[in-house]
Chains A and B, each alone.
Chain A
Amino acid sequence: MKYSNTIYTVALSIVFFVPFAVAFVAPPLEPYPALLLPSGAGTIKTTEDQMDFTRTSIYGKLAVGDSWTRLSPSQFLSPIPPEFFPSLAQRYFALRPVEPVPYRTRVGVVIKLDPRKVDEKDIPRAKEWLRTRLKETGCEDSLLRICQEVVTIRRSDGAELGVRNEDDRIFELR
């Protein structure tokens, strides 16, 4: 075929570059499948001895006593791999409606992504699933606490100096 190399190269470029351009301009729109590797291009201040990290934590109420215990994501979610924990916890395990958040793309256009609407009839099943998980970790199965936290750590010795709650919610699972 005449121009076979040109046609092949153009086709390959479209398959590779279009998803890359979409993901670069608006990361929440990252397509799948697409030939993309994670960039992880964030930076951190290295001059100060104290560092703040944000994390989402889940707590269960101990069956004995009245205190909350922080649950290990990998144990709580198993067999769901722990890397899916942040995305699930940030959506409050579908226990709370998540509002569409406006997102400013790199080209300045603001897009509003509607998170998938959770069907009301699916929520009892989600609560049942969470109750089973809590029971398996030795906690009371009626309450789940989900916190968006800021952890302050001293770099020189790794000591945890404090945890600040940015958002703290307790969900009834009954």
Chain B
Amino acid sequence: MKMIGFLNFVERGLAIAWQRLEEACSNDAHSLGLFRIFWGCFILLFDAPYSAFVSHVPQAFYNPSVLSLANFFSGFPPYWLMLGGDLVKIWLVVLITVGIKTRWCTITFCVLTFLSNSFVYSLGKIDHDVVLWTITLCLAFTDWGAHYALVPDRHADPKVSRRALATAGVVIAFGFFTAGFEKALHWVNLDFSSGGFLSWFYPGYYLLDRKLLLAPWVFRVPAQSFKILDYTAVAFELSPFLFLFAGRTAWRIWLLVATCFHLANALLLNIPFYIHVLVYLPFITFPRGFGRRKLEARETSVAFRWWLPVTVGAVILGFALTAQRLTGGGSQFLFIEGAPVVSISLYVSLVVLSFCALIIALDLRRRLASARLSRTSSPSAVYANASSVNDPATD
């Protein structure tokens, strides 16, 4: 009996917590539809599927992690299989972009990505793009394929859709927690003779030639003062759960800070972590800053054929990537192969992250303005309600 009482108490508490998370993360289906088009174009341009190269690598280099799917296999798969996987993923992204069977395409794409990445990371190092693919998987259960789509998905159960977006928020918060937890153990102290930020900076600067943008300026600042950046990084990485529970506006403020954090990393450490743009933007009301009503009206208008440029652009990119793969080449970033990718991706990341910051800031400004408006209008609304109740003429 006591056990049931306890379970009911836990269930009630969790229901309140999830409701709070769902409110903080919710977004309208039109914004998600527009974000889906942005996601597809972004993937095709800046993070295109390319894993076939592992089949050209000698089998002697195969060294999967003990706890990896690839450990069930004895070596890298044959070239035709990895190439086929890449081509299937490229065209799944094209289908997602134009909106054909989006839900199933998204789930298949994510499963294939986890599988092929397991083989790529069998070269001995695990990259950490998992947050992006997990959030994409969450989006499959929302209405991101229901608008601005050639063959729209059926609307998801609103409960499932809201929970999926809330789970995406939790994925971000937990991902950052895993990064911040260990930093907190080593970076938060009063030892001003050691630095955490600088332990990223110096090896990058001297060994990996990360000397672009503001990197040389780091030397003009006393080393001890970077301790403040260590504390800030830990606070930032451990805080997303607090902002999630604080509500919609607070969550968007954290997303803006996160984008600025990546911008600072690109400027000072020359680390272009631009794919996280796709992690932050699903929570942002996309078009309102650019005349949302007009866009929504145009969605169904014959005159405004939104699908024409999107379909043509996505299909052209799909064919170009296919041609590159079939001719034996391949690249994830803007079709560029080889060393130049490092510096070009850094400059592109500045543009992409700035765009992301702008979109979040516009949404935040609109949100704050409407909150101010509702605060100032609420006394008159109460008065109006009261007078309508008291005034027999209105009955």
Interface of A toward B, CB cutoff 8 Å = 2-3, 5-6, 8-9, 12, 16, 19-20, 22-24, 28-47, 51, 53, 55, 72, 74-75, 78-80, 82-84, 86-88, 90-91, 93-94, 113, 115-116, 118-119, 122-123, 125-126, 128-129, 151, 153, 155-156, 158, 160
Interface 9-residue window, one of B30-38, B59-67, B386-394: B59-67
B361 at the interface (CB under 8 A from A): no
Interface of B toward A, CB cutoff 8 Å = 7, 10-11, 14-15, 18, 53, 56-69, 114, 117-118, 121, 123-128, 130-131, 133-134, 163, 167, 170-171, 174-176, 178-183, 185-187, 192-196, 198-200, 202-203, 205-207, 219, 223-224, 226, 330-331, 337-339, 342
Contact between B224 and A35, CB atoms less than 8 A apart: no
CB distance from A82 to the nearest CB of B (A): 8
A115 to B66 Cα, complex, angstroms? 9
Contacts of A119 in B (CB 8 A): 59-60
Q: Which of A23, A32, A55, A75 contacts B121 (CB 8 A)?
A: A32
Contact between B187 and A46, CB atoms less than 8 A apart: no
Contact between A88 and B61, CB atoms less than 8 A apart: yes
A87 to B167 Cα, complex, angstroms? 34
A44 in contact with B194 given A33-B118, A158-B206 (CB within 8 Å): yes
Contacts of A38 in B (CB 8 A): 128, 179
Residue picked from A42, A75, A86, A90, most chain B C-beta under 10 Å: A42
| Between-chain CB contacts (< 8 Å), 14 pairs | A24-B182, A31-B65, A36-B175, A39-B180, A42-B196, A43-B186, A43-B195, A46-B192, A46-B193, A74-B338, A79-B331, A122-B58, A129-B58, A153-B202
A107 to B183 Cα, complex, angstroms? 18
Contact between B53 and A80, CB atoms less than 8 A apart: yes
Contacts of A24 in B (CB 8 A): 181-182
A75 to B65 Cα, complex, angstroms? 26
Contact between A32 and B68, CB atoms less than 8 A apart: yes
Contact between B187 and A125, CB atoms less than 8 A apart: no
A155 to B130 Cα, complex, angstroms? 36
CB distance from B315 to the nearest CB of A (A): 25
A78 to B329 Cα, complex, angstroms? 11
Contacts of A20 in B (CB 8 A): 174, 178
CB distance from B184 to the nearest CB of A (A): 8
CB distance from A79 to the nearest CB of B (A): 4
Contacts of A79 in B (CB 8 A): 53, 56, 330-331, 337-338
A83 in contact with B125 given A6-B7, A16-B174, A72-B339 (CB within 8 Å): yes
A34 in contact with B130 given A44-B195, A87-B63 (CB within 8 Å): yes
Contact between A32 and B118, CB atoms less than 8 A apart: yes
Contact between A42 and B125, CB atoms less than 8 A apart: no
> Across the two chains, which residue of chain B brings its CB closest to A2?
B11
Contacts of B118 in A (CB 8 A): 32-33
CB distance from A3 to the nearest CB of B (A): 5
Contacts of A31 in B (CB 8 A): 65, 67-68
Having A39-B182, A41-B196, A94-B58, one finds 18 other A-B pairs with CB under 8 Å, namely A16-B174, A20-B178, A31-B67, A32-B121, A32-B130, A35-B178, A38-B128, A41-B183, A43-B195, A44-B202, A45-B194, A46-B195, A53-B207, A74-B342, A83-B125, A87-B124, A88-B123, A116-B63
Contact between A6 and B10, CB atoms less than 8 A apart: yes
Contacts of A8 in B (CB 8 A): 18, 163
CB distance from A114 to the nearest CB of B (A): 9
Contacts of B121 in A (CB 8 A): 32
